[in-house]
Amino acid sequence: KAGVTQTPRYLIKTRGQQVTLSCSPISGHRSVSWYQQTPGQGLQFLFEYFSETQRNKGNFPGRFSGRQFSNSRSEMNVSTLELGDSALYLCASSFEGAQTGELFFGEGSRLTVL
C-alpha cells in the first residue's frame, strides 16, 4: 500500500512569490491535514480537510490556504511569501482524522524563502 506522497520535496522561492504544495493521501483515506515544522516553533497545525471540506483550521494568517479534491488529494497554497515561511510542510492522511485514528505522514516539502 503506497504511503502519503508530497511534491515537490524541495523548493526555493523569493519573498512575495506564492507556492503550491501537493499531497496524495493513502488510498481510502478521506482526511488530509497539513502542518508546518520549524526549529523555533516546532510542529504547528495548519488545517484539515475531510471529504473536500475544511474541517478545522489552526492559527495561521489567510495567506495560507488549502483545498481538497474529490479523489482526496490536497493542495496547500501560501501567497505573498515571507522569510518566516521557510519550513518543512508536512501532510498527513487518515481515514477519519487525528481525533479518532493515527495520522500517516508524508516526508514533507521543504520550502526555503530567500
Partner 1 sequence: LAKTTQPISMDSYEGQEVNITCSHNNIATNDYITWYQQFPSQGPRFIIQGYKTKVTNEVASLFIPADRKSSTLSLPRVSLSDTAVYYCLVDYTFFGGTYKYIFGTGTRLKVLA
Q: Check: CB of residue 106 under 8 Å from CB of residue 6.
A: yes
The residue among 24 and 33 lying less far from partner 1, judged by its C-beta, is 33
Distances (CA, A) of 86 to 58, 89, 90, 104: 18, 9, 13, 23
Instruction: In whole angstroms, give the CA distance from residue 61 to residue 26.
Output: 28
Q: Which three cell numbers stand for residue 47?
A: 488545517
* Residue 92 lies near partner 1 (rule: CB under 8 A): yes
Restricting to residues 7-66, which ones interact with partner 1 according to CB under 8 A?
A: 33, 35, 42-45, 48, 56-58
Interstrand relation of 10-13 and 64-68 (parallel, antiparallel or unpaired):
unpaired
How many positions of this chain bind partner 1 (CB under 8 A)?
A: 24
* Residue 99 lies near partner 1 (rule: CB under 8 A): yes
Interstrand relation of 19-24 and 5-7 (parallel, antiparallel or unpaired):
antiparallel
The residue among 45 and 75 lying less far from partner 1, judged by its C-beta, is 45
Q: Is the backbone peptide bond immediately before 39 cis, with ω within 30 degrees of 0?
A: no
* Residue 95 lies near partner 1 (rule: CB under 8 A): no
According to CB under 8 A, which one of 2, 28, 70, 100 is a site residue for partner 1?
100
The residue among 28 and 42 lying less far from partner 1, judged by its C-beta, is 42
Which residues would be at the binding site for partner 1 (CB under 8 A)?
Answer: 4, 33, 35, 42-45, 48, 56-58, 90, 92, 98-108
